[in-house]
Amino acid sequence: MSPIQIRPDEALDELTKFQAKLTHGVQNLMDTDDITTGVTPKEIIYQEDKMTLYRFQAPASVVQNTVPILIVYALVNRPYMADLQEDRSTVRGLLDAGMDVYLVDWGYPDRSDRYLTLDDYINGYLDRCVDVIRKRHRLDAINLLGICQGGTFSLCYAATHQDKVANLVTMVTPVDFQTPDNMLSKWVKYLDVDLTVEALGNIPGEMLNWTFLNLKPYRLMGQKYLDMVDVLDNPDQVANFLRMEKWIFDSPDQAGEAYRQFIKDFYQQNKLVEGGLRIGPHEVDLKNVTMPVLNIFAMQDHLVPPDASKALKKLVGTKDYSEISFKGGHIGIYVSGRAQKEVPPTIGKWIDERT
């Protein structure tokens, strides 16, 4: 017996419905206004070059923790993923949990930023943001929340500026870059990074998009758009989809020197695990991460496999290490309904217990 048995009338019905949804969906798409992202009110606290430090406005009704938390996002993609829309906002969740939330936005590097190094990002921009917050709040140390590559940066920073970090939270953060299931790591194994940077200067965001889409080409370049037709009759879901599309393809170029060091030291030589990592004048040893650490990873993460994050446990020097595994993917951990209920409140509670 054939495993495929589709009656013509059923197929016709299926296709007719598909066509109807697509036809009606056009109207919804035409009615969709400009896609807005970054919904929580915020103010600019500090700016330097293309980097901006924001502070989010907390709801008046919530008692705030006296030690603020600084979100450090990745250089890849834009940080509004953490504040995508009203009902999908990690930032909003943290504010509701009583956190005083700051966020560092690295901006869009251009050719004049081609020589920015990891030292400039971590010991320069990030350190000065931390100092600005410390000064504003008259504190010796603040809390850090690093997301993805921003988590890796936060680890490097915490290991070399221990006195300025009270508590460290890492979300979907790669630590061991050479776990057997890390596709990106395998792809860059034979890449001549020096030649790439010499040839391109800054690394185009388009190149990164291409790479990420090719991790799951059939799903991300095909199936996703067919599935989209199913929700075209719902204006809210259309807006959500478009918002996500905007974010996915909103990839800043990468400063050449920073990219060179990140690929070589982290992906190709796995120095965070193997040792020998230097960021500017500092040698990075995760044993020096002695403050409390909360490590959150996603079980279905195809960009940062869970094992890549879980490696942190054996490497940090802290005696106060906690781990949370989230049932979802790399993006779902910020935007899924379950994430809104689970992730920010857990972070808030964990920090409150240590403040």
CB of 249 to other proteins, least distance (A): 9
Nearer to other proteins, 92 or 161 (CB): 161
Among 207, 231, 248, 324, binds other proteins (CB under 8 A): 207
Residue 321 sits at the vertex; the CA angle it makes with 99 and 96, to the nearest 5 degrees, is 15
Number of amino acids touching other proteins (CB under 8 A): 82
CB of 68 to other proteins, least distance (A): 11
Among 44, 57, 198, 234, binds other proteins (CB under 8 A): 198
Which tokens go with 172? 């979907």
Nearer to other proteins, 22 or 44 (CB): 22
Active-site residue, from 51, 67, 95, 148 = 148
69-72 β-sheet, strand order? 42-48, 51-56, 101-105, 69-72, 142-147, 165-171, 293-298, 321-326
CA 222 to chain centre: 24
Candidate segments 38-46, 82-90, 201-209, 332-340, binder of other proteins by CB under 8 A: 201-209
Among 43, 86, 138, 319, binds other proteins (CB under 8 A): 138
Verify binding: residue 325, other proteins, rule CB under 8 A.
no
Separation of alpha carbons 281 and 139, rounded Å: 25
Separation of alpha carbons 76 and 244, rounded Å: 15
Q: Running DSSP on this structure, what letter comes out for residue 195?
A: H
Verify binding: residue 78, other proteins, rule CB under 8 A.
no
Among 43, 61, 86, 192, binds other proteins (CB under 8 A): 192
CB of 217 to other proteins, least distance (A): 5
Which tokens go with 40? 């929580």
State yes or no: is 148 an active-site residue: yes
Nearer to other proteins, 181 or 341 (CB): 181
CB of 311 to other proteins, least distance (A): 19
Which tokens go with 315? 């490497």
Separation of alpha carbons 130 and 268, rounded Å: 30
Verify binding: residue 100, other proteins, rule CB under 8 A.
no
* Residues 147 to 186 in contact with other proteins, rule: CB under 8 A: 166, 181, 183, 186
Nearer to other proteins, 12 or 44 (CB): 12
Own/partner pairs, 236-239, CB within 8 angstroms, 24+ separation: 238/25, 238/28, 238/29, 238/32, 239/32, 239/35
Verify binding: residue 12, other proteins, rule CB under 8 A.
yes
Helices 235-248, 8-31: axis angle to 10 degrees equals: 80
Work out the burial of residue 14: count CB atoms within 10 Å of its CB; fewer than 13 is exposed, 13-18 middle, 19 or more buried. exposed
- Residue window 33-72: x/- pattern of binding to other proteins, with contact defined by CB under 8 A: -xx------------xx---------------xxx-----
CB of 102 to other proteins, least distance (A): 16
Nearer to other proteins, 9 or 43 (CB): 9
* Residues 234 to 273 in contact with other proteins, rule: CB under 8 A: 241-242, 245
Strands 101-105 and 277-279: unpaired
Separation of alpha carbons 146 and 169, rounded Å: 6
Among 295, 292, 290, which Cα is nearest to 309's? 295
Residues catalogued as catalytic:
148
